[in-house]
Amino acid sequence: MKIGELSRRTGVPTRLLRYYEEQDLLDPDRTDNGYRDYAESSVQDVQQIRGLLDSGLTTEMIRTILPYLSGPDEILLPAEHLTPRTAALLQGHIDRIQARIDCLARNRDRLSAYLAAVRPEPDAEMVDR
């Protein structure tokens, strides 16, 4: 399929698809006239790339693990391919995710405490009825 069709099917602009190619995340074939020719599997690849980018992974991390993705919920990275550098990249990302979770939890707790402090308490008489 050509880049325009891949864009329509994935909702990803052609400009981003070209960027993914520049970042070695996509590797389309080329036709005799130089047009990109994407395989059907490129639709799933682009969806995975989008999901990984949305989760905060960098293109560098995605490039490292993309060959080992077998689906949106599964990474099959054999232990012998997990280099110290890749492990450090992944651990750093896990740490950043945890820091965001901690920050969100603190903000949730503060907002809940604020609401509890400013909401009027139910009238005791109304509760008994």
Give the model confidence (pLDDT) of 22-81 as tens digits.
Answer: 999 999 999 999 999 999 989 999 998 998 898 888 898 888 878 777 655 566 667 777
The pTM (predicted TM-score) of the whole model is 0.66
Answer for the pair 48, 72: CB distance below 8 angstroms, yes or no.
yes
Cβ atoms within 10 Å of 6's Cβ, excluding its own: 22
Answer for the pair 54, 16: CB distance below 8 angstroms, yes or no.
no
Nearest 5°: the CA angle 104, 107, 111 is 140
In the predicted structure, residue 123 carries a pLDDT above the cut 70: no
Cα-Cα-Cα-Cα dihedral sign, residues 70, 76, 81, 85: positive
